[in-house]
A and B are shown apart, each in its own frame.
Chain A
Amino acid sequence: AQTVTQSQPEMSVQEAETVTLSCTYDTSENNYYLFWYKQPPSRQMILVIRQEAYKQQNATENRFSVNFQKAAKSFSLKISDSQLGDTAMYFCAYRFGNEKLTFGTGTRLTIIP
């Protein structure tokens, strides 16, 4: 069974700094998808970024980028120039094919003014 591990329950950084959230996963599949979802206090689940395992190039979306290390089964999220609106719970998630998302336990990120 696939598992997703986020080892940082909480993190905090000063506004405008850069922060990296860690995620590791376990799978026997070769082609799959990895995601980072953001859940602000409103409890919405917002897709931040996704990575296709067969693509070596790391995905980027504006201030958000990932460091995907397939051999190490690592998928970290880097947030540059952090903003107060980035304060949220961040979930790393794995998906094989059209199957369900398997989530990690989340990292609560607080941006300090």
Chain B
Amino acid sequence: AAGVIQSPRHLIKEKRETATLKCYPIPRHDTVYWYQQGPGQDPQFLISFYEKMQSDKGSIPDRFSAQQFSDYHSELNMSSLELGDSALYFCASSLRGTGGDQPQHFGDGTRLSIL
């Protein structure tokens, strides 16, 4: 079965540079979630989209922005990168169900390292 695809798998950037992370949800899934997992920490919610509209926003820095496109893929744009942005970034997708009965399926993540 098709899974959530994230690219790139690994990304190395320097401080003050920009980065773009991409997420391709499972076919027919209409909702995308972004999470950030720092070293030794639990995943923290950043932002989500449903039918190409932002549906919820978490602890996402103003330096970050995201969108969902007409083909339902999503991109997380990160600017003025800081050392603290080094983390594993997960994308998850789901089919919006009644009462939230559809689980979120995670991609393998993008490991971002800031030098």
CB <8 Å contact, A100 and B45: yes
Give B67-115 interface residues, CB cut-off 8 Å to A. 88, 90, 92, 94, 96-97, 99-106, 108-109, 111
Q: Which residue of A lies closest to B106 (CB)?
A: A45
Please measure, in the bound complex, the distance between the C-alpha atom of A83 and the C-alpha atom of B76, giving whole angstroms.
37
Write the nearest CB–CB distance from B112 to chain A, whole angstroms. 13
Q: Which one, A37, A42, A52, A99, contacts B56 given CB within 8 A?
A: A99
Write the nearest CB–CB distance from B58 to chain A, whole angstroms. 6
Say yes or no: is A56 at the interface (Cβ < 8 Å to chain B).
Answer: no
Interface residues of chain A: helix, strand, loop or mixed (majority): loop
- Chain B's interface size range is 20 to 34
- Chain A's interface size range is 20 to 34
Q: Which one, A37, A42, A98, A102, contacts B94 given CB within 8 A?
A: A98
CB <8 Å contact, B50 and A98: yes
Say yes or no: is B43 at the interface (Cβ < 8 Å to chain A).
Answer: yes
Encode A83-105 as 1/0 by CB contact (under 8 A) with B.
00000000100011111111111
- Please, could you name 24 A-B residue pairs with CB atoms under 8 Å apart, sorted by A? A43-B88, A43-B108, A44-B109, A45-B92, A46-B106, A52-B101, A91-B42, A91-B43, A95-B100, A97-B100, A98-B100, A98-B102, A99-B56, A99-B100, A100-B58, A101-B33, A101-B35, A101-B104, A103-B42, A103-B43, A103-B44, A104-B42, A105-B41, A106-B42
